Chain A
Amino acid sequence: MTLRELYQNIGADYDQALRVLRVEKLVDKHIRKFVNNGVVSQLLEAGAQMESARMFEAAHAAKGVCGNLGLTALSDMASQLAEEYRPGNARHMSDEDVKAVLQRIETVHDAMAEGIRQYIEG
């Protein structure tokens, strides 16, 4: 499986990742590391506690990392949560809606992680 095929398989934007990281080697390095990168799991943990400040920080970090890697679906959802919990912003979503987004994040993340693992195992 090529890197581009991986991106197709997991529904991510390879060109975006390459725009940011410039060389395929770096995209490869960071997509492999993404499996163990804690940003998404930290967001899910914060979500379980429903702590606003931690939710914002974690969503913010996840948005950045996923955005850079072209994991657009994840970064869009993280961005939605970051805005929801940004200090000073009024809440628009109910806790149930938030939990639903978190659930979707987990599902998408797990699917992507599975795809990446297959890529790593070759």
Chain B
Amino acid sequence: MINSKQIQRPKLVLVVDDQEINRDALGVILEDDYEIICASDGSEALKEIQAHVDNLSIVLLDLMMPVMNGFEVLERMAGDDRMKHIPVIVLTADKSAELRALQMGAADFITKPFDVPEVIIARVARIIELSEGRQLISAAEHDPVTLLYSRNFFFEYANRLHHYSPELHLDAVVLDIEQFHTINAVNGRDFGDDVLRVVGAEIRDFLSETEGIACRFEADRFEIYCVPQPDYQALLERFQRRVGRISPNVSIHLRMGVNPWQEGVEPVLMFDRARAASTMVRGNYQSPLMIYDEDMRMRELRDRRFLNELRSAIQTRQLRVFYQPKYDIQCDPPRLSSAEALIRWQHPELGMISPGDFLPLFEGNGLIGVVDNYVWQVAAAQIAEWRKKYGVKLPVSVNLSRNDVFDPTLIDRLVRIIEDNGLDYSDMKMEVTESAYTEKANDLLQVVNRLRQLGFEIEMDDFGSGYSSLNMLSYMPIDVLKMDMKFVRNIESSETDLRLVKLILDIAKYLKLRVVAEGVETEGQLALLKDSGCDLVQGFYFSRPLPPESFEKLIERELEIERG
């Protein structure tokens, strides 16, 4: 086992005394524990100190010596940045010199003659220990790259300012470098460190002109606790100008979040909010400053409430699954073909909450898997119930989030849901959003292929809403394209949009993919889509998403048509 002595560096002691007997006397006392070097006067001592400045643990310094006395050595050491951290114990038989030496920076004194060696050993050890401790603290106090405070010290000092100088009314400012990992990856770590150094230097310059402290919170995130600034936009621009000069070949963008001082709010919370503000403008190069305000605070509170209440909302069935029908429009009249399951939150206090308010939140923190699983179970039970009640096969599409793909139990869970409800795999279709295909596509492809092998149909949701390339369609394992509603919206008025829709339909046909047009609201849109060869349509023209009991009316109407 490694013991604490092994991680200590060897300790080097410089003994400075013009009398050899004194040097020997100290040497023999200390030689068991330290490596000893000697000097016989002040100027020799300074040479030795300079030569061993990085590994000298302590100097034992006689005060009265020819050539250069100890006081002068103390003075020279105090005036030298590299030497001033080395502790000095003065050797003296002279009481009056002790005070002066201590005032000049000596850490302690040993009186001559040296008659109690244990006292000398203990004093030397204690002063070295104190000094090393101070150096460790000093090293931990600052981030070596930017020379700003390190995170823990920063928050300790911020808390002290908050408690002991409340009249300062300090603001929390967070500064982030956009895409820093990419800058590092493309230009190398040294370049990345240069960027950090420049930002650190500019922050230090800024702080020299105002009141405040700053740290590098983590990789590329800086936090500043400072007196309120008149214009944060100007401050951000100042930092941006500075990083803009680093390299003509690399564009570096900063963003800033600010939480202005509020009575009684602790620094930790203020910086949480400033960070949240900065995160809100991530990637927004046009408007990279966000001041945390009451709206954000309300949104945050609401988000936290949603996160806390999700599980109980599922248990108490506040979360409900609605169904929006899809119609096959190539028949006359159009026939109910399938449905999409959509989540709704009927909150006892907040009323009906739009999925747009909570789904992105759950997607962001992984809880979306809980929601998805719930929808799968409810939808599967519903499919089974309708089959039993009406004798119809009515497939329902459910959402498969990116998060689900990385859950190793996914396939087992889906298989169990299908089997427990006595369904076929073709009864439930999995919708994957187009954007999910663009990142880490390989993992997704594997899972989707496995699902298809089992017999699930895969639908690509929101096709055309993001960064889809037509090329992607040729290798993506999908069965159905769901054309984003923005394509359909203007086909009655815009020839271009109509042509685009026709083009997508042609390509889909060529690739043997069925197409669902989303967001169909008018008869005119329906007619155009039908003429263009679109198979399936979903939208308010036929029906908004309905609770199951209302959806059953659609099934019953369908059955009546069938019976003629």
Residues of A near any B CB (own CB < 8 A): 16, 19-23, 26, 29-30, 33, 37, 39, 57, 60-61, 63-65, 67-69, 75, 79, 82, 86, 88
A68 touching B22, Cβ below 8 Å: yes
Identify the closest chain B residue to A67 (Cβ).
B113
Q: Which 10 A-B pairs have the closest CB atoms?
A: A67-B113, A30-B21, A68-B113, A22-B28, A64-B112, A20-B25, A20-B114, A68-B21, A19-B115, A65-B19
* Smallest CB separation, B64 vs chain A (Å): 6
Is B6 interfacial (CB 8 A cutoff)? no
A63's partner among B24, B28, B93, B117 (CB-CB below 8 A) is B93
Identify the closest chain B residue to A66 (Cβ).
B113
B94 touching A26, Cβ below 8 Å: no
In the assembled complex, 10 residue pairs joining A and B whose CB atoms fall closer than 8 Å, in A order, are A19-B115, A20-B115, A21-B21, A21-B28, A26-B25, A33-B21, A64-B22, A67-B112, A69-B21, A88-B96
B29 touching A64, Cβ below 8 Å: no
**Secondary structure type dominating chain A contacts:** helix
| Chain B residues, CB < 8 A from A86 | 94, 96
A61's partner among B19, B29, B114, B116 (CB-CB below 8 A) is B19
| Chain A residues, CB < 8 A from B117 | 19-20, 22
| Chain A residues, CB < 8 A from B113 | 16, 20, 64, 67-68, 75
List 19 additional contacts besides A33-B20, A64-B93, A75-B113; criterion CB under 8 Å. A16-B113, A19-B116, A20-B114, A20-B117, A21-B25, A22-B117, A26-B24, A26-B28, A30-B24, A60-B94, A61-B19, A64-B19, A64-B22, A67-B93, A67-B113, A68-B112, A68-B114, A69-B21, A82-B94
Residues of B near any A CB (own CB < 8 A): 18-22, 24-25, 28-29, 64, 93-94, 96, 112-117
| Chain A residues, CB < 8 A from B25 | 20-22, 26, 68
Q: Which of A26, A79, A88 has the most CB of B within 10 A?
A: A26
B115 touching A16, Cβ below 8 Å: yes
B93 touching A21, Cβ below 8 Å: no
* Smallest CB separation, B24 vs chain A (Å): 6
Tell me the complex Cα distance, A86–B96, Å. 9
| Chain A residues, CB < 8 A from B64 | 57, 60-61
Identify the closest chain A residue to B21 (Cβ).
A30
Tell me the complex Cα distance, A21–B120, Å. 13
| Chain B residues, CB < 8 A from A16 | 113, 115
* Smallest CB separation, A44 vs chain B (Å): 17
* Smallest CB separation, A26 vs chain B (Å): 6
Identify the closest chain A residue to B26 (Cβ).
A20
Identify the closest chain B residue to A70 (Cβ).
B113
Tell me the complex Cα distance, A82–B95, Å. 12
* Smallest CB separation, B423 vs chain A (Å): 92
Q: Which of A16, A23, A61 has the most CB of B within 10 A?
A: A61
* Smallest CB separation, A13 vs chain B (Å): 10
| Chain A residues, CB < 8 A from B29 | 22
| Chain B residues, CB < 8 A from A21 | 21, 24-25, 28
| Chain B residues, CB < 8 A from A68 | 19, 21-22, 25, 112-114
* Smallest CB separation, A101 vs chain B (Å): 18
* Smallest CB separation, B471 vs chain A (Å): 85
Tell me the complex Cα distance, A15–B28, Å. 16
| Chain B residues, CB < 8 A from A79 | 93
Identify the closest chain B residue to A79 (Cβ).
B93
Tell me the complex Cα distance, A74–B96, Å. 22
| Chain B residues, CB < 8 A from A88 | 96
Tell me the complex Cα distance, A9–B113, Å. 23
Tell me the complex Cα distance, A57–B63, Å. 11
